[in-house]
Amino acid sequence: MTHYGIAPLTSMFMFDDTNRSRYDDYRRAVHDSDGLQIMMQNGEQIWRPLANPRRLQSSSFVSSASSSVKGFGLMQRHNQFEDFNDSEARYDKRTSLWIEPLENWGVGEVVLVEIPTPQEVHDNIVAYWQPEDSLLPGNQYDYRYRMHWGPVGPYELEVGRITDTSRGQSINGDDMVFVIDYAGGNTIPNVITDTDAVEIRVTNSAGTVINTSGTLVQATGQYRAFIRIDPGRADLMELRATLHVNGKQWGETWIYRWTQ
């Protein structure tokens, strides 16, 4: 067997601030989970906002022999009533689920499958662990893991956690702006007076990054990063952003797949 999933999770994502313009709905968002969180053995924390794509899509987050996956989960970080304004479904009360391997799972990948859905009644999000090696007939394979249910996972960052992702068209043309909020931005040294206190590094598979900027949102104490990018003729872009303070990464790694 060449393709199989260990510790499979399912959830639902219909819309939030990343694709709000596609829906005429009084609610601000509709989802059971808003992101895939991954922690690697080397300490890197990855946050991938979920999507409701127009076409079926699959994403893989590969581990290595030197740094296997320490855990992953489908998380609901938006958990306030005003995030949804839904008095019936109460998406603000949906729990998160974190998978913790109880031994080193070795080389493989966390797979995220996102299925288009026009309605919230369909679970359209799937995540699981896919080992690198195929399953051979007659062999026994043991994968032990612990499931953590609750509002947050066991490795949730207090400082540097991504709390929100939104995007919209730039006022300057066809390019777009991605806005990423990070908790605990007020702990960054000199962040108010020094515009170079935080370096925003972006890699992109397509399109052109026009500029990046950031600011401390004093009303919330969060750091807000702006990424302005022109997709050009691309219909898909894989984006990755990290913040660096004094040459070291600060906070989670943000990964996003943009599609037309």
87-127 pLDDT, tens digit per residue, is: 999 999 999 999 999 999 999 999 999 999 999 999 999 99
Look up the pTM and report it.
0.95
Mean pLDDT of the chain: 94
Evaluate if residue 164 carries a pLDDT over 90: yes
Phi and psi at 187, nearest 5°, equal -90, -5
Decide: 111 and 59 in contact? Cβ < 8 Å. Answer: yes
Distance from C-alpha of 100 to C-alpha of 145, rounded to nearest angstrom: 5
In a 10 Å sphere around its CB, with 0-12 CB exposed, 13-18 middle and 19+ buried, how is residue 137 labelled?
Answer: exposed
What's the average model confidence in pLDDT over 57-61?
A: 96
Say yes or no to pLDDT of 20 above 90. no
**pLDDT over 90 (residue 231):** yes
Cα–Cα–Cα angle for 94, 48, 107, rounded to 5 degrees: 110
**pLDDT of 239 strictly over 80:** yes
What does the pLDDT read at residue 33? 98
Report the b/e string of 168-202 with b at 16+ CB within 10 A: eeeeeeebbbbebbbbbbeebeebeeeeebbebeb
At residue 56, the pLDDT reads 98
So what's the pLDDT on residue 67? 78
For 125-156, the pLDDT digits (tens) are 999 999 998 889 999 999 999 999 998 888 88
| Distance in angstroms between the alpha carbons of the first and the last residue of the chain | 34
- What domains sit in the chain, N to C, each tagged with a CATH number? 6-150 (2.70.98.10), 162-259 (2.60.40.10)
Write out pLDDT tens, residues 63-79: 887 778 999 999 999 99
- Going by the DSSP 8-state scheme, the letter that residue 91 receives in this structure is G
Average pLDDT rounded to a whole number, residues 203-230: 96
Mean pLDDT in residue range 241-250: 96
- What is the structure's pLDDT at 207? 95
